[in-house]
Structure 1
Amino acid sequence: MLLWINGPFGGGKTQTAYEIRRRLPGSVVCDPEHAGFGLLRMLPRELRDDRGGKRLIDDFQDLVSWRQGVVEVLDVVLTGHAGVVIVPMTVTDPGYFTETVGRLRELGHDVRHFSLLAERETVTRRLRERGPGQLLRRATGRGGGPHRESRAVRRLDHCLERLSEPEFAEHLWTDHSTVPKTADRIAVLAGLTLRPNNEGRLRTRVRQVRVGLPHVRLD
């Protein structure tokens, strides 16, 4: 089984994916962003930077090689791995959704898709909190400073609007849900049983910082 966790940037996909992995023995997380950012880094900076004025690739998902590569690799993993495979990945284009999630289903895999949604204010707050400085402050329970608008914030309205469409169900609203509770809801809907969440608040904060830091984009 593959759990594809969709949602806007900063919507909690990655944290939820690793929460499920932590509590579901034999499961693995496969993150297609790694392949996408790797493809972008093959380009000179001026061709992938907003400030360059010559950028040819707006989003790595526009590359056919990314879409086909994700399907190929996940097909291999699902065929060879006995446990549940978890994929945290934002996909809002219906055509790209068909070429990835739809194609995996055509290949005979059991793909359960979930869109994590929240109000705009909730997502922008989460984006502020996942910056490098904020992630470190979370470990000590302290607040943070101002946030510079990012590409994720600029695309937020588009993501929320598109993912609210019926084709991107199952929809899970997370404004008043913690990451462990969201993981529990996904598990129930997918017919899976997670280990009980017996982790304390401080340990949870530290672990979520460790999960979040490798996913902070600095380039």
Structure 2
Amino acid sequence: MIVWLNGTHGAGKTTTSAHVQQLIPNSRVFDAEKVGETLMDITPGLPGTDNFQHWPPWRPLVVETARRVLDYTGGTLVMPMTVLVEQYWREISGGLAQHAIPVRHFVLHADQDTLRRRIAGASPVPSPFRLKYLEAYAEAARLWLHGEAEVVDTTHLTPVQAALEIAEAVKS
């Protein structure tokens, strides 16, 4: 099984995923961003983009990597990864379904003011990269994302509280 933690920067995916992993027996955290980092290391580089998710190989490589890890280890993969493009989510979730891998898709949500505050507090200089995705997240949430996942509002939750809510939902 895969427990996919979606949501934009500042929602708490990375921190929450570590706590979820501790609460679900035989689970591991797999950050699909590492697949993107591998693609970014190709020399000479792949065609220019502002987001590795736009490279067509990224989505099937995420599916294949997750499948191979699960075939090897069994158990559950906890995957913290923002996916805001519906077509990309369909490719990933459809690819996992073709391998009969169940996915519990959660969106960690927080209001825009909270997200901005968290992003600003993450480093001395707020990340323009992280801030630019706030609007894309709001649009995806409104158009499709919240309808495709179980939404966990982290505005007033600690990562531990969010993880407990997710783990309980997965276990039930």
Same fold (TM over 0.5): yes
Distance 2:105 2:55 in 1: 22
Q: Alpha-carbon deviation of 1:188?
A: 1.6
Structure 1 unmatched ranges of 5 or more: 49-54, 132-144, 193-219
* More moved, 88-97 vs 100-109: 100-109
Q: Does 1:171 align with 2:151?
A: yes
RMSD (Å), alpha carbons? 2.0
Q: Alpha-carbon deviation of 1:34?
A: 1.0
Aligned-residue sequence identity (percent) comes to: 32
Once the two structures are superposed, what CA deviation does each residue of 1:182-219 show, in whole Å capped at 9, x if it has no partner?
Answer: 00111121126xxxxxxxxxxxxxxxxxxxxxxxxxxx
1:154 aligned partner: 132
Higher strand fraction (1 or 2): 2
Tell me the secondary structure at the aligned position of residue 57 of structure 2. helix
Q: In structure 1, give the amino acid aligned to 2:42.
A: M
Structure 2 unmatched ranges of 5 or more: none
The TM-score, its normalising length taken from structure 2, stands at: 0.89
1:115 pairs with 107, 119, 123, which one? Answer: 107
* Count of residues in Structure 1 that have an aligned counterpart in Structure 2: 170
Tell me the secondary structure at the aligned position of residue 136 of structure 2. helix
| 1:16-31 aligned within 5 A | 16-31=16-31
Contact 1:6/1:13 (<8 A) preserved: yes
1:70 aligned partner: 62
Tell me the secondary structure at the aligned position of residue 31 of structure 2. coil
Q: In structure 1, give the amino acid aligned to 2:88.
A: Y
Select the structure of larger CA radius of gyration.
1
Higher RCO (CA 8 Å, separation ≥ 6 residues): 2
Q: Does 1:182 align with 2:162?
A: yes
Change (3 A) 1:23 1:188: closer
